[in-house]
Amino acid sequence: MNVLDAKNMAPASQRPNLADAQDWWRGAVIYQIYPRSFRDSSGDGVGDLTGILNGLDYVATLGVDAVWLSPFFTSPMADFGYDVADYCGVDPIFGTLSDFDRIIEKAHRLGLKIIIDQVYSHTSDQHAWFSESRQNRTNPKADWYVWADPKADGSPPNNWQSVFGGGAWGWDSRRQQYFLHNFLRSQPDLNLHNRDVQDALLNVGRFWLDRGVDGFRLDALNFAMHDPQLRDNPPAPRDGHPLTRPFEYQLHIYNQSHPDIPKFLERIRLMTNEYDGIFTVAEVGGPEPLSEMKNFTANGTRLNSAYNFSFLYADKLSTTMTRSVVSDWNGEEGEGWPSWAFSNHDAPRAVSRWADEDHTARAAKLYAMLLMSLRGNAFLYQGEELGLPQAHVPFEALKDPEAIANWPSTLGRDGARTPLPWEDTAANAGFSSAKPWLPADPRHSALAINVQERDGQSTLHFVRKLIAIRKNATSIRNGECAFIEGVDDLLAFYRISKGEEALCVFNLGSKSLTWRPLSEQRFKRIIDIGFDTDDKGLPETLPVLSGYIALRQN
């Protein structure tokens, strides 16, 4: 058992013995909690760790395997926690380290794993490391961030652009140099080419692993290293799609995706291997993320899994896109394990992107069925199990800096971050007794947890059944995937494991389809959406936005 550290750290958590469950995460369903919007226990309008603690019983009833907590670390909240000022501290708005320890203890008692964010690309400009680094060019942390001299005319070192708009360089008058910020100006980029920086971040990981966390989601990972030569990015080819910000005008060859990132990931893997059953997953953005995802998860020496924004940013759910994205992970030797997310805190909710308002209830169930059918891990974002649509947030109530900067060109992220509705008749849908930090959408009250608990046909009950099916069917949890040639908007595939086979069929389009598989012997429908009959055979007609999962024992 660990001794207490300088932060009055509690003894290492009572993590269950996972010696026989190192791969618990393979095929897992992971529920994402956005702490600010999950549940407020203090009455200040912001969700907190005690609210999460009190809500874990509900999460456990879903049948998920793990919970991913978005940042709760000490932060000025310019980017709502992704600007970290202390990697090993809890921001007072969320609670204390003791509150976090109680979450770990209760989650493990309920059979839930806890995964937390690690933001290794950048910090807040209020982090002690940056405060020291900016003092001069000779201090011990002078090279912990990306600093560069101006050009002869005083302009920034190169043409790199920030994700959130404008140039990616900020001037610091003390050092008389520019610092790199791929995101907000208040989020200076760490210099991960520096071994001391890597060591410091690995110690951060150990701090949380010693407290009992079961894994990490690594934020903005392909931004973690830059080109030391600071070469200009070339312009991006124009494909006719409208561009909304300067960042999109470039190919990001030199400000991200450096070939040395995997070497750092191997150090992370060695560190996590010191503990039992730890799961690591990378967030990988960009228009062509596949090669990086494969590279970041290769050969069992780097991360366990990765996910991208193929579904998260898709304006339409299409058969072609789904087949293409999923087929890229075919289980070849040395390949990592994929993860999938349809919604999260960074993207408008899928049901609003992919379905019209008249069909959101049915579409929410269909999309959940598809997510739970895919080969890989499934990330379920809070409220997705309720079928919540994207909330309406007026401009004057926006908080997201990206949404404000790019309004009205994009939907922004605030509409996916509004409070989770717990009770339909309570103030602020039961989220808080005070005015919430983002307004609760009145439409969400009718979809509140207490309402759906009473309705056996609700999206909530449907998602619980889906998760139970996934957990009990080895073919769906971690079997192979084989797509079937279909017609129009038909998506059909087999999930195959030893002794069991599942047939997953979806009509993603706006018209009925006629289709049956070539072989339907001994298949029995175990769950479906869009059919009025109780017959468990395989239907010939697939109505609009319908689907089913059928199982066959070999």
Is residue 501 flagged as an active site residue?
A: no
- Domain termination residue (choose one: 409, 442, 468): 468
Q: Is the pLDDT reported for residue 17 higher than 60? A: no
Which residues make beta-bridge pairs with 490? 507
Residue 149 inside a domain? The answer is no
Using a pLDDT cut of 90, give the percent of the chain over it.
86
Report helix, strand or coil for 305: strand
**Residues 248 and 272 both lie in one domain:** yes
Q: Which residue has the higher pLDDT, 165 or 107?
A: 107
**Contact assessment for residue 375 and residue 480, using Cβ atoms and an 8 Å cutoff:** yes
Q: Is the pLDDT reported for residue 19 higher than 50? A: no
- Domain termination residue (choose one: 468, 495, 528): 468
Residue 456 inside a domain? The answer is yes
* pLDDT tens digits, 428-477: 999 999 999 999 999 999 999 999 999 999 999 999 999 999 999 999 99
Residue 358 inside a domain? The answer is yes
**Residues 306 and 451 both lie in one domain:** yes
- Radius of gyration from C-alpha coordinates of the chain: 24
- Residue 92: the pLDDT is 98
Distances (CA, A) of 534 to 13, 54, 328, 525: 48, 38, 36, 10
**Residues 462 and 524 both lie in one domain:** no
Q: What is the 3-state secondary structure (H, E, C) of 448-466?
A: CHHHHHHCCCCHHHHHHHH
Q: Is the pLDDT reported for residue 166 higher than 60? A: yes
**Residues 416 and 449 both lie in one domain:** yes
Tally of residues, the chain: 554
Cα–Cα dist 109/414, whole Å: 33
**Contact assessment for residue 60 and residue 112, using Cβ atoms and an 8 Å cutoff:** yes
* pLDDT tens digits, 516-543: 887 777 899 999 999 987 777 899 999 9
Instruction: Name the strand (E) or helix (H) holding 262.
Output: helix 261-272
Cα–Cα dist 62/68, whole Å: 14
Cα–Cα dist 404/400, whole Å: 6
**Residues 484 and 457 both lie in one domain:** no
Q: What is the mean pLDDT of the chain?
A: 93
- Residue 11: the pLDDT is 32
**Contact assessment for residue 47 and residue 55, using Cβ atoms and an 8 Å cutoff:** no
Residue 182 inside a domain? The answer is no
Structural domain count of the chain:
2
Is residue 219 flagged as an active site residue?
A: yes
Cα–Cα dist 31/22, whole Å: 20
**Residues 505 and 545 both lie in one domain:** yes
Q: Tell which residue, 158, 79, 162, has the closest CA to residue 123.
A: 79
Instruction: Give strand ranges (E) for 331-393.
Output: 337-341, 377-381
Indicate which residue of 219, 283, 402, 528 is catalytic.
219
Residue 53 inside a domain? The answer is yes
DSSP for 180-209? E-SS-TTSPBB-TTSHHHHHHHHHHHHHHH
* pLDDT tens digits, 66-79: 999 999 999 999 99
- Domain termination residue (choose one: 416, 440, 468): 468
Q: Which residue do the tokens 């920034």 mark?
A: 156
**Residues 515 and 458 both lie in one domain:** no
What is the domain range of residue 525? 480-553
Indicate which residue of 5, 23, 274, 453 is catalytic.
274
pLDDT tier for residue 330 given thresholds of 50, 70 and 90: confident
Q: Is the pLDDT reported for residue 1 higher than 50? A: no
